[in-house]
Amino acid sequence: MIGISYLQISLYLGALLMCIGVTLVITRRNLIMMLIGIELMLNASNLNLIAFGKKFGQTESHLFVLFILLVAAAEISIALALLIQFYKHFQSSHLEN
């Protein structure tokens, strides 16, 4: 036994992923990179939900994660439709130009 705690390592990894997502959303001005950052943040929240669900021995958190997955899929489809319209209008995917 190395003696590691799956819960703590998962929570640290979730914190790291959340910060990387925030960094991407703040520092990049490209729409697709911002979407990738949002996906990373959603994954960090999923990881935290699953980790705490294991700690307390519940499976309700799995259902919440399932709904988050579903909302993420809906969100990315709408965002890409908006991206296509944005690109048709401005011929670019950067927010500044």
Partner 1 sequence: MNLVDMVDIIFIAFVCLTAFAAFAIVLANQILQAAYWLLCTLLGIAGIFLFLGADFIAIAQVIAYVGGVLVLLLFGIMFVGADTATKRKTGRFSGLALASGLLLFLIWLVRLIPLCESEFYINTTLYDIGYQLLTNFLVPFEIAGILLLVALVSAVFISAKK
Q: Which of 74, 85, 71, 73 is nearest to 31 (CA)?
A: 85
**Least distance from C-beta 12 to partner 1, angstroms?**
6
**Least distance from C-beta 75 to partner 1, angstroms?**
8
What gap in Å lies between CA 50 and CA 7, rounded to an integer? 9
Q: Which two tokens stand for residue 46?
A: 């999923």
**Least distance from C-beta 97 to partner 1, angstroms?**
10
Q: Which two tokens stand for residue 52?
A: 């705490």
Amino acid found at 21: G
Residues that bind partner 1 (CB under 8 A): 1-13, 15-20, 22-24, 26-30, 32-33, 35-36, 39-40, 43, 46-47, 50-51, 53-55, 59-60, 62-63, 65-67, 69-78, 80-85, 87, 92-94
